[in-house]
């Protein structure tokens, strides 16, 4: 598996994290959650009181925080300036603001550069929204996970306390629109990617299908 890079893209709630970690464990690879990096940047921007409605202000300061991502699929970590933010970046305030921060071109340039450094020579499963199209267009295997809006909302509401599937479906629809229409690196299926609808599949079935694709392409 030397040099292998598996790009796992797709919208929120499609199963990217669980599938990516399962595949990484099965193949003995590293794992990178690029979405956590954008969330970490968003958390920092909020902590600093930067105006989310001012892209120029975000751009001017996005080079300041030191974001460090762990790559162990059994215990991925994310730190900002030495602070463990794995919990805070999943809170509603960050979730509601991450699309605005991630749309800033300077933020994307900085984080994509860091993501490519972590990918390095490969041996890694990378999940996000633009991995196969922008971050690593030469990835060995490109997968685009999707699922029905209802299934995605149910999965996400099950992960988050104090929310409903209906509320999550509305929030996801808004984020999907923002992510797919932003000018810089919009969410889209990369050329050469295999689309995999996870709506009616179990986690184990999705992982098995991705492993089959890896075997087929390597």
pTM above 0.95, yes or no: no
| CATH number corresponding to 5-212 | 3.40.50.300
CA distances from 188 to 37, 128, 145, 156 (A): 19, 11, 11, 21
What are the extents of the domains in the chain?
5-212
Tens of pLDDT, residues 78-111: 999 999 999 999 998 998 899 999 999 999 999 9
What is the DSSP pairing of strand 124-128 with strand 5-9? parallel
Tens of pLDDT, residues 120-139: 989 999 999 999 999 999 99
Tens of pLDDT, residues 15-29: 899 999 999 999 999
């Amino acid at each position: 598996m030397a040099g292998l890079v598996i790009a796992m893209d797709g919208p929120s709630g499609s199963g990217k994290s669980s599938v990516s970690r399962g595949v990484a464990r099965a193949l003995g690879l590293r794992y990178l959650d690029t979405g956590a990096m954008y969330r970490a940047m968003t958390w920092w921007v909020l902590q600093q009181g930067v105006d989310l409605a001012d892209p120029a202000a975000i751009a001017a300061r996005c080079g300041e925080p030191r974001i460090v991502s762990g790559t162990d699929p059994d215990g991925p970590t994310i730190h900002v300036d030495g602070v463990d933010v794995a919990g805070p970046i999943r809170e509603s305030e960050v979730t509601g603001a991450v699309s605005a921060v991630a749309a800033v071109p300077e933020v994307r340039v900085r984080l994509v550069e860091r993501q490519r450094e972590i990918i390095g020579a490969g041996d890694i499963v990378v999940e996000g929204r633009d991995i196969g199209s922008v971050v690593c267009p030469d990835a060995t295997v490109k997968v685009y996970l999707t699922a029905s809006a209802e299934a995605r909302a149910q999965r996400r509401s099950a992960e988050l306390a104090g929310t409903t599937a209906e509320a999550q479906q509305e929030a996801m629809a808004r984020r999907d629109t923002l992510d797919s229409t932003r000018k810089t690196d919009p969410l889209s299926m990369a050329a050469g990617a295999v689309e995999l609808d996870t709506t009616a599949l179990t986690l184990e079935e999705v992982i098995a299908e991705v492993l089959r694709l890896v075997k087929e392409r390597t």
